[in-house]
Chain A
Amino acid sequence: MFKARIEVTLKSKILDPQGKAIESSLRNLGFTRLSKVRTGKNIDIVVDETEVDKAVELATSACTKLLANPVTEEYEGELFDASGKSVAKFSSPNSARSDAKVKS
């Protein structure tokens, strides 16, 4: 048994109006050094498998079939074992987020 934590976000080139609204609110509060706010959703799922590979495969298949829309979204997931230890990571093909993290 594993737990998968999946984060679904809009692709970086797609406007995230919620992120923009939050960003402008932060600015109004004086957080002028905070920028590029992006929102997303977090989905936690229990995966009834005994092998890590199979669990990743199953969670990935849920992502591609239902959880993320490949036209506009991408996903990143992490798999945890029963003790809460991270045992695997997975993400959508060509996920741009990981290498766009700290570009200034």
Chain B
Amino acid sequence: MTGKVGVVVFPGSNCDMDAYNAFGSVLDQKVELLWHKETSLNGVDIVVLPGGFSYGDYLRSGAIARFSPIMNEVVKFASKGGLVMGICNGFQVLVEAGLLPGALLRNASLKFVCRQVYLRTETAATPFTSGLEKGQVLKVPIAHGDGNFYADESALKSLEDGDQIVFRYSTADGEITRDANPNGSIYNIAGIVNSRRNVLGMMPHPERASEQILGSAQGKAVLKSVVQSLN
């Protein structure tokens, strides 16, 4: 089955076309761009909130985008079990919208970090990682200034207990170390799902690692998993 992927475009999104290309050209799916002012998801099966700097990151990253008209539909879609994937700024929008717990703070180094990192897959039991193995390491880029994941103790415990931590920053060998943590995220957390497991947020960019010419094609497995989970 071929699914239809909708990529939301906020003013300031800048990885919308990367996602469009990865799902469309690389994975041969139907993709459409959904302008943030729209009030319908046009029957898409997967919603992608892309990377970028929606509304210039004013106030807090994602804080203003979460009130875009289309977000009402995204929240409804997610509450019915629809698959939603927030990458980078998309992750920030999802936590601001309350679809995922926690918050993304300024990087501990205060620097914008743009480089390849390694992620260890912490669970294959999500629609976004079903094609991966637990422990599998992926080389994927990050490019953010506000990626320092924070959650209070009880939220962290519930993420751990619920097997909701999906990716953690690691070494190439899959070791979780302080040096492998590019932004100060608590527990090296790079990506999480909600308790229903249909909403994923991750700071790294799998769509920007979907073809070898981009430096890594290892992110493709994440996008492929979510497409295949529609079958």
Contact = CB atoms under 8 A, between A and B. Distances in A.
Interface of A: 10, 14-15, 17-18, 21, 66-67, 69, 71-72
Contacts of B64: 66
Given A17-B107, A17-B108, A71 B102 contact: yes
B105 A72 contact: yes
B63 interface: yes
B154 to A, nearest CB: 12
Nearest to A16: B106
A90 B3 CA distance: 50
Size bracket, chain B contacts: 20 to 34
A66 B60 CA distance: 9
A contact face: mostly helix, strand, loop, or mixed = mixed
A66 B59 CA distance: 9
Interface in B92-139: 95-96, 101-103, 105-110
B187 interface: no
Interface of B: 59-60, 63-64, 67, 95-96, 101-103, 105-110, 150-152, 184
Contacts of A14: 105, 150
Contact of B150 (A21, A67, A71): A71
A17 B106 contact: yes
A66 B64 CA distance: 8
B103 A71 contact: yes
B21 to A, nearest CB: 32
Contact of A72 (B59, B67, B103, B109): B103
B124 to A, nearest CB: 28
B109 A17 contact: yes
